[in-house]
Amino acid sequence: MISKPYKDRFIDDRSMSPNAQEFLQGIAAVLEDETSDWRPVLSELLELIPRDDHGERLARAGYAYGVGKRMRGAFPAPSILMFCSALNLIGHAPNVGLKESLIASMEKIDSAGLSDDEDMQAILQAAKERAGFDMVSQMLRNEFSAGLTRMGGYSREDLDRVVRDIVAIGHQARHEALVDIIEWSTVQVSDWMIMSISDIPKDQGFWEAMLLRAPAGHTFHGAGRLGTLAHQAQKGCAQAILMRLEALRK
């Protein structure tokens, strides 16, 4: 999670809990990645982070950040999921319109004497789950947007697109076991010289893509699409955590 020179001095007391040594390296990684000179040792971080639920969530978020950082190169979509999980721990859920509509609907159903109807209960449960999903998604978009805004360099349109894609990929990694999105081409090679490259259509079904064969004299070449997005997710996550650490330092 952190560089060897920093790690060599980070654990300033080997008698400290292994949990502290491991978890707080994630916080240290945020500081090393995003600041030029803030390099606290373990005992200093233990003094900085409050011993309450807020502090626990911050420590766990830092650890999730560190794990996502380790995974990013090989497993970009799962790393994005870890960055989303980190911000899910420390973010504040917004008020979304669906939640207000749900409350109003529940009152109407109750006044109509249908609150015990099984079909109505099933519909309400589905609506509650959707409201929760929407709140989490909006909260994550807000957190990544705030973090990346601090980095600068994004137009409003680009920022909205990036944070939307980050959250969407996080959900896909969680629900569909997404690891990366690979764009495949077939490459014709002769005497180590590339003669031609043919793109494979992107609308291939799962088994169509699984059963593809390269033409004679060609080989497959794949390029992952999510590496840049995972890097942007890491930066947005780190800055969101850093904002909380800076507030504690004041």
Under 8 Å between Cβ of 184 and 201: no
On average, the pLDDT of the chain sits at 85
- Nearest-angstrom CA–CA distance, 177 and 165: 16
pLDDT tens, residue by residue, 133-178: 677 888 999 999 999 999 889 999 999 999 999 999 999 999 899 9
Task: Identify the CA nearest to 66 among candidates 39, 105, 27, 12.
Answer: 27
- C-alpha 81 chain-centroid distance: 4
pLDDT tens, residue by residue, 203-246: 667 777 777 777 777 777 777 889 999 999 999 999 999 999 99
Token pair recorded at residue 83:
């960055």
Q: What is the DSSP string of the chain?
A: ---HHHHHHH---TTS-HHHHHHHHHHHHHHHHH-SS----HHHHHHHS-SSHHHHHHHHHHHHHHHHHHHTTT-HHHHHHHHHHHHHHH--PPP-HHHHHHHHHHHHHHHTT-TT-HHHHHHHHHHHHHHHHHHHHHHHHHHHHHHHHHH----HHHHHHHHHHHHHHHHHHHHH-----EEEEEEEEETTEEEEEEEPPTT--HHHHHT--PPTTEEEEEEES-HHHHHHHHHHHHHHHHHHHHHHH-
Of 94 and 226, the one with more pLDDT: 226
Say which amino acid occupies 218.
H
* Residue 57, CB-side half-sphere exposure with 13 Å CA sphere: 12
Give this prediction's pTM: 0.80
pLDDT for position 120: 61
Token pair recorded at residue 188:
């014709």
